[in-house]
Every structure is written in structure tokens, then in C-alpha cells.
């Protein structure tokens, strides 16, 4: 399959960012800073960023680097870029077109490439912060591609394993849901399009693990009306469709669903890339009781259209996202409350860049994102968006059993005097100013992890789920 921005854009619905350009139209004085500029040599077309234990940000660029086939990069909080790995050395057995990147419980980076590898259909890998690469799995490893091809989503589970999806391949050639452990042991949990007419969905996108331990995700295609589905998958492989999109006339409920987020109450939120009152996409809620609600329909002349990436749930309880298109043809950033109050935060200008990847909240409280070049004059940027959000801590993973060791990322952690899991004191060790290792204590329940530092108390986002 040919590499294309169209395929990558749909994948960036998954699901796993920046820059220096002229000011754009901004609502209510939100501050947007373009932090880093890509030049091709250090990468081209960056995806979303994450934060690691050293306090720096890491991400992938889909193209560029030493061989032109993508990079993993480091960005300091000040915006200094450094390539730590370039893909497609030799015969591209390491992959090309790197995509989502996550931080493992061992403090290493894990990710997938959409292409490359022996089967030319993508790879999964581990990478140290210092750039030491280990190939974990090559997709389409047999003649039928039963293990899937073109991975387009990847995340860390509460058990320390990684879970993801592929766009194609599997028993019915419409994608798989897979599990892979940190050493590369691989297993397919579900092959999509198992039902006649693909009623169970096809072209799956990045899944998340819910508070109940099950996995929830979306498909861009298939379902009863062909507009995609929301599904639930148990760790044992039991699959269930819980919502069909385009089930209302003229796709008033939207279609082609992007990744989900879940709040502390168990409600799911997401966006669709088309449909709704104006045909340009929606923001929706699926409550814990499985009630579906449209919170907002995008109106292109007013607030942009084509919400292409998904949502971030910030520590103020509100949702933040980006649109691919806007007033100047280069997208917007927005905020929406769980009640549906919508605010346009920023309109990107005509500099030739548009936001393709989901926003990420750093431990400094800022939202970080990336733009992708729409013209030949740019190779993409990474930006930060300030909306007055407070600093926080982030746990890796966000769920686990009593006795599990977790990483806690933050800023100014030296001198920490207390770590509690929903009020229960935990044993901990301050490893650096930017991270702590802690043990989930006996008696802990699902709730906020709080860290008392010399400058004040930092609370986790999202909450930590204590599993059985």
C-alpha cells in the first residue's frame, strides 16, 4: 500500500507535535506559542507529543530524518529539537512512517510504524530515551497477514502490556485489535469485519482502556449504517458493538469516529469527522448508561470543520480539540465543556500549517500540539496553547493493582514530602525533579493521586484506577 497523507490523516484520528510563525486570530487572548520548527533534516510532518521521565517531550515525525522516512525526536520545554532515531536505515526492516508513541512503565518509549519491516506493513518497537532501538514485531508476518497490517493505534494497558489496532489485515482483511508485551510477544484479540456486512465495524482506530478494565474504541467504517461504530472488547476477546454511527437521518449523529476519552464519571466523549447539523462533524457524549448525545455540531464559517484528531480531557474537566479546517483554511483549536458550552480558542493563519494530531496536556498545564504542512514552504511545527490550566502530575500507567510500581511525572518534584492515592499514603522515591516512582498502597481506591511538593500540591489527571 502506498504511503499517503490521506491514510495518515485518518489514522491520526487515533489517537499518537511545532513552531514559529506569524500570529493567528485568537479568541479571548489565549496564548499560543510556536516552539519548534521542523526543517526536513530533523523531521517532517510531526505527530502528537508525549512527556517522558526526563521532563522533555518526545514524538515522531512521519517523514524526514537521515533517510527521509521519519524520526523519533526530543523537544526540550524551551523548544530545542534533537533527533534521537531516524527510520529506514538499510532495508527499512525497522519500519518507516512512524506513528503513535507511548511511554512504558519501564520509562522507555514504545511505538509503531505504519509501513516498512520485512512485510512492508509496519513494525512495533522499543526505544530508550538515548536512542537505542529494539524491533519487537513486524506486521504481516505471514502470507495472509493474519496478525494485521498498517498499525494505526497503540496504548499502554494497566497490566503493562500494549494494546493497539491495525487498519488492515487480519482474518477478514479489515484490521485487528492486538496485544503486545514489552519483549514482543504478540497476540490478536479480535479481527474486524467478522460479521456479514462488517456489522462489527472495519478500519479500527486507537483504543483506550476503560475504568472497568475493558477496552473501548471506534472504527471509521462498517457498522449497521457504514459510518463506523463504538465497540467494547474484554481482555479475553469478547467483542460488542455499543453504538452505530449515521443511525440518524443525514448522519445527524456524525460518522467516521475518532478516538474516545473517558471522564471520572465513566462517560465517553469523542468527535466525528463529518455529519451533524452542518455536515462538518460533531462533538458527542456517550454516557455511562449508554445514552448518546450531540454536544456540538461544527459550523465551518464560524468554528471550523473536520475535527480530525480526537479530544484531550484536561485537568479543568473540559475537553480540548483541533479542527483541520478553519477561517483561513488551516484549522482551529477549541474548548468544550461536558455540558456542551463551546469556545473557539484559536484560528491558525495562512502560514501553510494545520493541526493534524490530538492535543496533549503537559505536566506544566499547557496543551501541546503539532501542525502538519499544507504547502511546500514548511515541514511542520510544535506549539503550546495556554488556557490558564494549573500544573499537574501524570501517572504511567493510569491504572493498576495494589502493589504495582508506577511512574509519576511532574515538575519541581525534588523535596516531595507525600504521595497519596485517593488519600491513602504511598511509599515513593523521588528519582529526579521530573519523576517519582511510587507503589499503589494497600487500601487505595480509584481517585486522584496527590503529590505534596515544596511549592504546593499537584494532582493527577486523569484519575488513577485501582484494579483488582
Structure confidence by residue, pLDDT tens digits, 228-287? 999 999 999 999 999 999 888 888 888 877 889 999 999 999 999 888 888 889 999 999
Which of 338, 363, 386 represents a domain boundary (last residue)?
A: 386
Residue 19 has pLDDT above 80, yes or no: no
Total tally of structural domains belonging to the chain: 2
What is the percent of the chain with per-residue pLDDT over 90, rounded to a whole number? 76
437: pLDDT confidence band, cut at 50, 70 and 90?
Answer: very high
Comparing 75 with 351, which gets the higher pLDDT?
A: 75
Rounded-to-integer distance, Cα 269 and Cα 68, Å: 36
Residue 188 has pLDDT above 70, yes or no: yes
Answer whether 191's CB lies under 8 Å from 176's CB.
yes
Cell matching residue 466: 485501582
Evaluate if residue 2 carries a pLDDT over 60.
Answer: no
Q: Are residues 333 and 435 in the same domain?
A: no
Query: Would you state the pLDDT for residue 376?
Result: 56
Q: Are residues 342 and 379 in the same domain?
A: yes
Gap between the Cα atoms of 197 and 225, Å rounded: 10
Sequence-separated (6 or more) residues with CB below 8 Å from residue 127: 72, 84, 85, 108, 109, 110, 111, 133, 134
Which residues are paired to 149 by β-bridges?
Answer: 168
Selection from 19-23, 70-74, 141-145, 270-274 with the highest mean pLDDT: 70-74
Q: Which of 386, 408, 437 is the last residue before a domain boundary? A: 386
Looking at the structure, do residues 374 and 409 belong to the same domain, yes or no? no
Cα dist. 245→200, 238, 257, 294, 340 in Å? 12, 21, 8, 12, 19
| Same-domain pairing of 430 and 295 | no
Is 338 in contact with 263 (CB distance < 8 Å)?
yes
179 and 281 co-located in one domain: yes
pLDDT at residue 440, rounded to an integer: 98
Output the average pLDDT for the chain: 90
User: Both 315 and 347 in a single domain?
Assistant: yes
- 333, 355, 386 - which closes a domain: 386
Alpha carbon distances (Å) from 462 to 48, 383, 393: 18, 22, 9
Measured from the Cβ of residue 268, the count of other Cβ atoms closer than 10 Å reads 22
Task: Using a pLDDT cut of 70, give the percent of the chain over it.
Answer: 91
Instruction: Say if residue 424 is in the same domain as residue 358.
Output: no
Polymer length in residues for the chain? 468
Domain containing 398 — which CATH number?
A: 2.60.40.10
Domain extent, residue 108, equals: 5-386
The pLDDT confidence band at residue 16, using thresholds 50, 70 and 90, is: very low
Average pLDDT of span 425-447: 98
Predicted pLDDT at 374: 64
| pLDDT score of 1 | 33
The answer to whether the beta carbons of residues 286 and 268 sit under 8 Å apart is yes
Cα 188 to Cα 204: distance, rounded to the nearest angstrom: 13
Claim to verify: residue 342 and residue 409 sit in the same structural domain: no
CA distance 151 to 204: 10
Tell me, yes or no, whether 273 and 146 share the same domain: yes
Task: Give the pLDDT band (50/70/90) at residue 372.
Answer: confident
C-alpha 454, offset from chain centre: 32
Residue 201 has pLDDT above 50, yes or no: yes
Q: What CATH number corresponds to the domain at position 239?
A: 2.130.10.10
Range with the poorest average pLDDT among 5-14, 282-291, 367-376: 5-14
Residues 28, 75, single domain; the answer is yes
The answer to whether 174 touches 161, Cβ cutoff 8 Å, is no
Residues 401 and 375 in one domain: no
* CA 131 – CA 114 distance, rounded (Å): 20
Per-residue cell: 314: 484536561
* pLDDT beyond 90 at 25: no
Q: Based on the fold, state whether residues 272 and 161 are members of the same structural domain.
A: yes
Q: Where are the beta strands (DSSP E) in 298-393?
A: 311-313, 319-323, 332-336, 342-347, 353-355, 360-361, 367-373, 381-386
Query: Taking 50 as the threshold, does the pLDDT of residue 14 lie above it?
Result: no
Amino acid at each position: 500500500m502506498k504511503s499517503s497523507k490521506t491514510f495518515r490523516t485518518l489514522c491520526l484520528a487515533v489517537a499518537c507535535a511545532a513552531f514559529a510563525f506569524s500570529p493567528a486570530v485568537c479568541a479571548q487572548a489565549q496564548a499560543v506559542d510556536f516552539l519548534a520548527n521542523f526543517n526536513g533534516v530533523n523531521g517532517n510532518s510531526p505527530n502528537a507529543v508525549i512527556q517522558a521521565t526526563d521532563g522533555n517531550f518526545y514524538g515522531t515525525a512521519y517523514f524526514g530524518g537521515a533517510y527521509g522516512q521519519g524520526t523519533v525526536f526530543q523537544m526540550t520545554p524551551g523548544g530545542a529539537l534533537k533527533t534521537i532515531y531516524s527510520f529506514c536505515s538499510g532495508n527499512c526492516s525497522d519500519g518507516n512512517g512512524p506513528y503513535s508513541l507511548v511511554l512504558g512503565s519501564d520509562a522507555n518509549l514504545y511505538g509503531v510504524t505504519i509501513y516498512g519491516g520485512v512485510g512492508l506493513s509496519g513494525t512495533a518497537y522499543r526505544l530508550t530515551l538515548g536512542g537505542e532501538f529494539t524491533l519487537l514485531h513486524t506486521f504481516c508476518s505471514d502470507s495472509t497477514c493474519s496478525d494485521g497490517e498498517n498499525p494505526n493505534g497503540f496504548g499502554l494497558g494497566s497490566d503493562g502490556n500494549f494494546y493497539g489496532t491495525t487498519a488492515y489485515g487480519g482474518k477478514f482483511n479489515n484490521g485487528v485489535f492486538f496485544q503486545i508485551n514489552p519483549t514482543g510477544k504478540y497476540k490478536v484479540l479480535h479481527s474486524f469485519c467478522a460479521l456479514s456486512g462488517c456489522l462489527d465495524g472495519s478500519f479500527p482506530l486507537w483504543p483506550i482502556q476503560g475504568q472497568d478494565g475493558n477496552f473501548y474504541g471506534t472504527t471509521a467504517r462498517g457498522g449497521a449504517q457504514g459510518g463506523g461504530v463504538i465497540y467494547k472488547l474484554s481482555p479475553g476477546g469478547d467483542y460488542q458493538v455499543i453504538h452505530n454511527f449515521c443511525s440518524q437521518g443525514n448522519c445527524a449523529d456524525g460518522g467516521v469516529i475518532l478516538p474516545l476519552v473517558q471522564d471520572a464519571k465513566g462517560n465517553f466523549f469523542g468527535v466525528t469527522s463529518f455529519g451533524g447539523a452542518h455536515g462538518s462533524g460533531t462533538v458527542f457524549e456517550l454516557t455511562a448508561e449508554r445514552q448518546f448525545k450531540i454536544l456540538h455540531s461544527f459550523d465551518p464559517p464560524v468554528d471550523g470543520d473536520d475535527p480530525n484528531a480526537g479530544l484531550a480531557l484536561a485537568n479543568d474537566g473540559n475537553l480540548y480539540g483541533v479542527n483541520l479546517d478553519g477561517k483561513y483554511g488551516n484549522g482551529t483549536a477549541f474548548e468544550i465543556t461536558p455540558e456542551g458550552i463551546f469556545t473557539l480558542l484559536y484560528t491558525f493563519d495562512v502560514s501553510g500549517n494545520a493541526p493534524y494530531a490530538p492535543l496533549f496536556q503537559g505536566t506544566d498545564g499547557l496543551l501541546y500540539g503539532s501542525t502538519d504542512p499544507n504547502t511546500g514552504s514548511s515541514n511542520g511545527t510544535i506549539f503550546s496553547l495556554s488556557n490558564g490550566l494549573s500544573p499537574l502530575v501524570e501517572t504511567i500507567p493510569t491504572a493498576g493493582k495494589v502493589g504495582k510500581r508506577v511512574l509519576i511525572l511532574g515538575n519541581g518534584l525534588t523535596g516531595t514530602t507525600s504521595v497519596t492515592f485517593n488519600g491513602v499514603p504511598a511509599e515513593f522515591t523521588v528519582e529526579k525533579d521530573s519523576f517519582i516512582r511510587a507503589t499503589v498502597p494497600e487500601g487505595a481506591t480509584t481517585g486522584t493521586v496527590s503529590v505534596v511538593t515544596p511549592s504546593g500540591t499537584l494532582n493527577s489527571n486523569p484519575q488513577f484506577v485501582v484494579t483488582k
